């Protein structure tokens, strides 16, 4: 089986590549800098629509089908809305939101035709709680969450699984962006290992569960996320039945 993982050079993406390889998948690792691991390593910018469709067309011609797509590529810019650079924020929107949309648009027609396949989007707790000094990042994740949830409802009748993973802070290079200077300790205090997120990806592939949360080490985190999941589940179960 063929799995494609974006943002595969470090952190969650790298941990996911390792996990899926251990499970027997042929893993295509994609990132802006050439990945170190993967059965096939591709250097591509997910924010570039032409790059994405060219890559997917190449993979389909080579392997015939993509069984799993993990949209993980993304980054954040930290700072007040008045301080952050607009050009960086525009690039963040293209990477965090348009990149997954491009990949899903490219891959889904094949999955629908075969009536199988799994899409897993790495989102964030920030999708539900807009974090101060991470406003545009939070907005990209909120938008991706809405697309993922709606797509979960649309794809059920085709047998295609669509899931969103919602981690809190994770021990990755997320805070390596210069804008996080002075804020790294706040994130690292409650951060979990990227392998926990990779395990959630595997669970999503197996179950097709709409939302899977990976709580931080903050004591109240799991309870707030559980309540959010219950309310969302009721809404999307109804929407899935009504609009399908």
Q: Which residue has tokens 């409802």?
A: 153
Set 25, 78, 137, 213: catalytic member? 137
Provide the token pair at 233: 């589940």
Starting at the edge strand that comes first in sequence, how are the strands of the sheet with 161-167 ordered?
40-43, 26-31, 2-6, 68-71, 118-122, 161-167, 211-214
| CB of 225 closer than 8 Å to CB of 166 | yes
Q: Quick check: 28 and 2 in contact, CB under 8 A? A: yes
* Interatomic CA distance for residues 152 and 222, integer angstroms: 23
The DSSP annotation for 24-64 comes to T-EEEEEESSPPSSSSEEEE--TT-HHHHHHHHHHHHHHHS
Please confirm, yes or no, whether 128 is among the known catalytic residues. Answer: no
* Beta strands 211-214 and 161-167, pairing class: parallel
Cα–Cα nearest to 69, from 113, 15, 105: 105
Query: How far apart (Å, rounded) are the C-alpha atoms in residues 52 and 138?
Result: 24
Catalytic site positions:
137
């Amino acid at each position: 089986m063929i799995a494609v993982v974006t943002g595969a050079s470090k952190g969650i993406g790298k941990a996911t590549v390792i996990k899926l390889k251990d499970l027997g998948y042929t893993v295509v690792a994609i990132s802006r800098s050439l990945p170190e691991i993967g059965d096939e390593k591709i250097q591509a910018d997910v924010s570039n629509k032409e790059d994405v469709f060219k890559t997917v067309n190449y993979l389909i011609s080579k392997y015939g089908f993509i069984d799993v797509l993990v949209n993980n590529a993304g980054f954040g810019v930290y700072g007040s809305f008045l301080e952050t650079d607009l050009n960086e924020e525009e690039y963040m929107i293209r990477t965090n939101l348009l990149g997954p949309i491009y990949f899903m648009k490219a891959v889904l027609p094949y999955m629908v035709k075969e009536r199988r396949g799994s899409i897993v989007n790495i989102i964030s707790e920030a999708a539900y709680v807009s974090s101060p000094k991470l406003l545009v990042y939070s907005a990209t994740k909120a938008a991706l969450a809405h697309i993922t949830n709606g797509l979960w409802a649309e794809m059920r009748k085709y047998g295609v699984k669509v899931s969103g993973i919602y981690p809190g802070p994770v021990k990755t290079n997320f805070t390596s962006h210069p804008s996080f200077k002075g804020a790294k300790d706040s994130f690292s205090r409650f951060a979990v290992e990227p392998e926990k997120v990779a395990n959630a990806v595997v669970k999503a592939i197996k179950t097709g569960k709409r939302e899977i949360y990976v709580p931080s080490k903050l004591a109240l985190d799991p309870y707030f996320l559980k309540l959010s999941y219950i309310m969302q589940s009721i809404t999307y179960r109804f929407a899935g039945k009504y609009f399908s």
